[in-house]
Chain A
Amino acid sequence: MLAYILRRIVYVIPIVVSVALVCFMLVHITPGDPLVAILPADASQELASQLRIAYGFDRPLPVQFGLWLWKAVNGDLGHSIATGRPVLSEVMRAVGNTVTLAIAAAMIGFTLGLFFGLLAGYFRDTWVDKVATSIAIAGVSVPHYWLGMVLVIIFSVQLNWLPAVGAGPGGSGAWGWDWEHIRYLVLPAVTTSVIPMGIVTRTVRALTGDILSQDFVEALRAKGLRETHVFRHVIKNAAPTAMAVMGLQLGYMLGGSILIETVFSWPGSGLLLNSAIFQRDLPLLQGTILVLALFFVFLNLMVDIAQAAIDPRIKRS
């Protein structure tokens, strides 16, 4: 198992370097001036050149990449051009808020997804299956930002039950796990959860149906096992694939949703990315993308290891 984990970690290194290179290149090939946040369009060419030198944008791209990567390896992602604040602290604060949202959404989405998926798979082609499948299709089809706006109109504007925007009465810096704060999380978490709920439902339904049709299930029943025991075997066999799907979904959610976080003014990585994109804040953009990509890579690594722990066949392959 240790050899397997080490091998997976070694595979991660070139992925991380490639991710760093791609995110650096992507933000640099986009048109526009990287100093647009602090340099008005009427600024003189002399002033523009002076600032370009001050921020190191006059150097060749490979040199800029090398310097940035070296600093990044040493835990320094530079400073935001627009705010002057260290990128790492900006990203970590935003990621923390997104993690809060993602975990809440995962709890809702995965719980409902597993419930509806198992139900639909076990009662395949019955009305239960049809209802659960319809909910899943609605989950993956409804534009989540639209759903967010609808929820805000109903629960905030009309009923005045839940806040429309923000991350707590005093902002995320004063976050606490009490109802005064959690009420700010409800609408964005529900909105974020609908897509993973739909995907998990469909995946688990297909897996359950497939496993139930396999011979070993018949054998278990023939041995006289109670249906709850048979079901436990079905769950165990479905778990690796379901976990992989949930891991990916959690990864997507940890990446933050630009649309949902903007609709709810939730100060997470999606809103940070949105702001960085519109302000052409290259260090912030690069840093945010890199950190999120690393999260994704790390999460995949964890899922791979967990899968191998559950299903020894994966380790052997």
Chain B
Amino acid sequence: MFRIDFNKLRFLVCDDNPHMRRILRTLLHSFGAREVYEAEDGATALEMYSHYVPDIVITDWSMPIFDGLELAQMIRQPESKGNPYAPIIMLTGHSEKRRVTVARDAGVTEFLAKPISAKGLYQRILNVVANPRPFIKTKIYFGPDRRRNTSNAYIGPERRVGGEAEVMQQPSLLDKARSST
């Protein structure tokens, strides 16, 4: 059985609703987290993301200035100086299938529909810590692999084409970002 040392993790929480931020802060501190930074809009969250380099981002969807979806898209810039790989957990009142798909396509790692529960939040955090997915970069997408499972029953076109071409070792973008500061 595994436990997470929450006191070694740095969180960025972004929600325009102060009550929800208080609940999230309470839950994360109860899990054992010490470093929980809070933003009330996407623009502030992006600034704090660059400044504090959090390990995990938890964001609402609907927010002023720019929303959680845009925040995810801005974090998931493969050429950015910051870390484009941090896990993003979208915590939102939206619960329609279409919304889940849109969030996934913006590079969100996990989706958690409100109402929030301690168990649901813990499980999403455990998942991003223990089971990180590889990242996929295409012309139109950069983010966690959207294929969580291999389905032998899948019927349809293969949307990723081409055999394996080569393997390149590169320094981490995160490493480059930190060495440049």
A and B interact: no
Interface residues of A (CB under 8 A from B): none
Interface residues of B (CB under 8 A from A): none
